[in-house]
Amino acid sequence: MKNTIYKLNKIKNNKVLIHHHLGLGDTIICNGLVNYLSNVKGIECFLPVKKHYLDMVTYLYKDNHRIKLFSIDNETRDDDVENFARENSLQILKIGFEKVKKDNFNTYFYKQLRIPYEYSFRYFNLPEDSEKYARLEKHLFDYFDINSNDYILVHNESSYEKYDLKIESKLDQIIINKESDLFNNLFIYKDLIRKAKEIHCINGSFLHLVERVDSNAQLFYHHLRKNNIEIQKSWEWVLYD
C-alpha cells in the first residue's frame, strides 16, 4: 500500500499503525520498541493484535495509555490492518517481514528502525499482579504435585509442535502449557520465572519473556527450532542432532 512506510522519519502527524510480526514472542520483543516510540518519542501508536492474544496483549500494555489496540483475524490479518489504516487515515509502519531475510529476526526489528536493540530491554514493561501470581503458583504446585520451592520451569511447546527436551535435573518440573494455565496469560508467570532454580526453553514466546524478567535461575536454551536468533542472557545451549 502507498501508505506503508519502513522508517521512523517518514511518520507524519505524530501517529502511526505499527505492523510488526504478530506472534506473542514478536510482541514481547517489540514491546520495548513500542514503549519507546510512544512514551519517549510521543507518537500515538495503533497496534493490530490477533484475537486469541488480545487479552494478554491488553494486559501487557495496560500501563501505557498512548497505545491503541485493535483486534484482527489471523486468516485476514493483512486486509484487516490495511482496512483499519484506511478507515482511520493512518500510515502503516511495517517492521520485519520481507525485510528480515537472513538476519536474526529479533534484532532486525530494531536494526530496521535504527534503534538500539538494548531498548528492547530498557523500555520493556510488564505490569505486576501479586494476587494472580500467588493464585497461579498455588494452582501449578497442586497441578504438578510440586512439594518444594526448588522447581524448574519447562517450555517445550510451539504453536505447531511439542518437543522432548534433554533435561538432567531431578527437580520438580512445572510445564508451561495451555492445559495447566489458570489465566491463559503467559505474563502471569513473571514471579515463577523470578523464583525458579532452572528454566528450560525452546525458541518461543516464553524464551523472550525470560530474557526480560530478572531471575537467578540457571538457564538452558534447547536449540530445536533452528531459527536465526540472538539471545542476551547467559544461556547454556543444549544442542540436538
> Are residues 95 and 20 in contact, defined by beta-carbon separation less than 8 angstroms?
yes
CA distance 186 to 174: 13
> Are residues 200 and 176 in contact, defined by beta-carbon separation less than 8 angstroms?
no
> What pLDDT is attached to residue 227?
76
> Are residues 149 and 62 in contact, defined by beta-carbon separation less than 8 angstroms?
no
Domain boundaries defined on the chain: 4-122, 130-239
Give the chain's count of helices (H) and strands (E): 8, 10
Confidence of residue 1 (pLDDT cuts 50, 70, 90): low
> What pLDDT is attached to residue 101?
64
Where would I find the H helices in 50-125?
54-60, 77-87, 105-113, 119-122
> What pLDDT is attached to residue 99?
63
Would the pTM count as exceeding 0.85? yes
For residue 146, pLDDT beyond 80? yes
Q: At the top level of CATH, which class does the domain 4-122 belong to? A: alpha beta
Task: Quote the longest CA-to-CA distance of the chain.
Answer: 59
For residue 170, pLDDT beyond 80? yes
Instruction: Give residue-wise pLDDT tens across range 95-145.
Output: 987 766 666 778 889 999 999 999 999 999 999 999 999 999 999 999 999
CA distance 91 to 3: 5
What DSSP line would sit under 37-63, residue for residue? IIIIS--EEEEEEEGGGHHHHHHHTTT
